Amino acid sequence: MPSKPKNRVGEVYGKLTVVRISERRTKSGNAFWWCRCDCGREREVPGDKLSHNTSRKKPVVSACLQCSRELQIESVTIKNDRDEVRRREEAQCNRRQLQGQVPDSWLRLPLTDAHARELGQVLFFRGTRCLRNHLAPYRINGGCLACAGQKPSA
């Protein structure tokens, strides 16, 4: 029997909160933990991937598989950019609340300026209002499309 692992229930890593220990163990005997993501999904994560130390080479896990994919928060380009991760998480959160209130096409746009550049696109939608209170996509290097007098489809 491996020694009883330290209780990590309640610890928070990005969008994940540790909820209970799993029966699963890694080859080296470390425990897996069930974590609940902010979106409500659960993900089983080996304990050594739950870390706040982003400087180490090992990848860390900070969201469920679905959110990780949506946010690309485990992608190489932004691996160490915590601010960008937070911006994408905020945009994702804003957009979830806007579902049905804005065109679906806006919700498929990149999440941030940097995300748009990564994908080679020019528009992004963070789900935030501009200084003139428009809710509209933004153009990279530009501002809100409504301010620019353009329709997002143009």
Contact 33, 58 (CB under 8 A): no
Stretch that binds Zn ion, among 41-49, 72-80, 85-93, 108-116 (CB under 5 A): 41-49
Site for Zn ion in 42-71 (CB under 5 A): 64, 67
The contacts of residue 37 (CB under 8 Å, 6+ apart) are 15, 16, 43, 63, 64, 66, 67
Burial class from Cβ neighbours inside 10 Å (0-12, 13-18, 19+) for residue 70 reads middle
Q: Are 60 and 51 in contact (CB under 8 A)?
A: yes
Q: At residue 146, what is the residue type?
A: A
- Does position 132 interact with Zn ion (CB under 5 A)? The reply is yes
Measured from the CB atom, is 92 or 112 closer to Zn ion? 92
Under the criterion CB under 5 A, does residue 37 sit at the interface with Zn ion?
Answer: yes
Residue (39 or 93) nearer to Zn ion, CB: 39
Question: Among 11, 34, 39, 152, which residue interacts with Zn ion (rule: CB under 5 A)?
Answer: 39
Q: Which residues bind Zn ion (CB under 5 A)?
A: 37, 39, 41, 64, 67, 130, 132, 134, 144, 146-147
